Structure 1
Amino acid sequence: MSRVLATTVLQCHLATPCVSLAAVGAQISQSEDMSWEVAFAAVGKPREIVIPPAAPRVHTDDLWKTTCFELFIGRGGDSYAELNLSPSGAFAVYNFDHYRTGMRRIDLPAPDLALDIGRERITLTARFPEDSLPWDYDGRIGISAVIEEKSGAKSYWALAHPPGKPDFHHHDCFALALPPLGSA
C-alpha cells in the first residue's frame, strides 16, 4: 500500500500559454518498501500534444526539448538533482553543484515508466526503488513539465515560477517540502 506524500497542481508560465491543456498535476507517493512513485497528469486535449515516439529506456540527453516531465530534488546547500522523464520511455538524471553549474550525469537504473493516453488525459507514472536515486535530499522538491503542442508552441509548467522567463532550476521552483525518507 502506498502513502501519498503530496498531490499538487502545476502552474503554466504566463508567457507560455497552452491552448490544448486545462491543467497539469502531479502526485508523489511512497510504498511500504520505500520506493517512490511520481505520477503526472495532463488534462485537456491529448491528441494536440506532441508525444515523442517510443524509445529505449536509457539515459538520454535533451529530453526537455519536447514534452517532458521533470522532478528536481534539493540535496543541501545549492546542490540538486534533476530527473527528466519522457513519455517515450527515455529518462535522464543529473546532479548540479550550484544553480545550473557543475552538471554531472548520474547513472541510475531505468525507472519503471507507464504511459496512458486517454481522450482527455495523459498520465505518466514513474516508479523508483528507494536505493536507485540520490535520496540524500534536503526536503526541497520541484515538479515541472514542458508541454509541446502539435502547433509547435511550448508551455512551461511548475509549482511556482520566478520572475522573468521560465526557469525550472531557479530556487523559487523548489516549492514543495517533503519529510526525510523513513519519516513520511
Structure 2
Amino acid sequence: MEVKARRPAATTVELSFVLQGELAALSFPSRSHRRWVRGLWEHTCFEVFVKPENGSVYHEFNFSPSGEWAAFAFSDYRDGKPFGERLQPAVTTRRTETRFELDAIIGPELLPGVDVRTRLWIACGAVVEDSGGTLSYWALRHPADVPDFHHPDGFTLELASERHAY
C-alpha cells in the first residue's frame, strides 16, 4: 500500500491511496451513492486522521471504495462524535486487475479552525478485507501491540501548507 498526502492550500488536504497486488483475492464494497455512512472500517476502507500540532483535538475521515465516506470529530483520544454528515469530500476511484487508487480532497468545511499557521500531523491507514472476510490493518505506524489508528503516537507525518513557510 502507498499513501501520498499534500496540503496545496492552508485549509485543504489531498490524499492518494494506492493498493497494488492480486486484487482478486480482496473484497471491495460495491459502488454506491456518495453518502455519509457509519462503520466503513468493517470492510475495506482507507482512513486518515488529521490533528493540529497542539492539543488533543483531531478529525477522522474514512473513505470506502464504494464511494461512501464518514468523518468524526474527536476532543480527545477516542472521545468523538459524527461530523460533517451533510458535507461532501471529493472522492474518486480507479481500478485495474492489479491496482486500486482512491483520491480524496478534504476541504476547509471539513477542517474547522485550520488556517495557514496551523501545523497538521496526520496518521494514514487502511482496513483491507480479503475474499474470505478476514481484515488486515495497515498504517504508516502501529505504535501499540494491536492496530489502533487513533493512537497519539501514530500521527507521524507533518503536513505543512505548500503556500506557507514555517
Q: How does the TM-score come out when normalised to structure 2?
A: 0.86
| Corresponding residue for residue 127 of structure 2 | 146
Task: Choose the corresponding residue for 1:53, options 30, 33, 38.
Answer: 30
Greater than 6 Å deviation, 4+ residue runs: none
Partner of 1:112: 90
Question: Aligned match of 1:63 in 40, 45, 49?
Answer: 40
Aligned residue identity for 1:149: D
Does the 8 Å CA contact 1:59/1:90 hold for their aligned counterparts? Answer: yes
State the one-letter code of the partner of 2:93: L
Gaps of at least 5 residues in structure 2 are none
Write the deviation string for residues 137-160 of structure 1: whole angstroms up to 9, x where unpaired: 642100000000002221101111
| Residue equivalent to 2:60 | 82
The alpha carbon displacement at 1:46 in A equals 1.2
List runs of 5+ in structure 1 lacking aligned partners: 1-23
Distance 2:124 2:63 in 1: 11
Is 2:40 the partner of 1:40? no
Question: What corresponds to 2:103 in structure 1?
Answer: 125
Amino acid at match of 2:55: G
Contact 1:34–1:182 under 8 Å retained in 2: no
Give the paired residue count.
Answer: 159
Counterpart residue number, 1:178:
159
Give the share of equivalent positions with the same residue, in percent. 32
CA–CA distance in structure 2, aligned partners of residues 33 and 99 of structure 1: 25
Corresponding position of 1:11: none
Q: Secondary structure at the match of 2:153?
A: helix
Q: Summarize the Cα distance change of 1:158–1:33 in structure 2 as closer, same or farther, 3 Å threshold.
A: closer
How far apart, in 1, do the equivalents of 2:162 and 2:77 lie? 24
Moved more, 32-41 or 53-62: 32-41
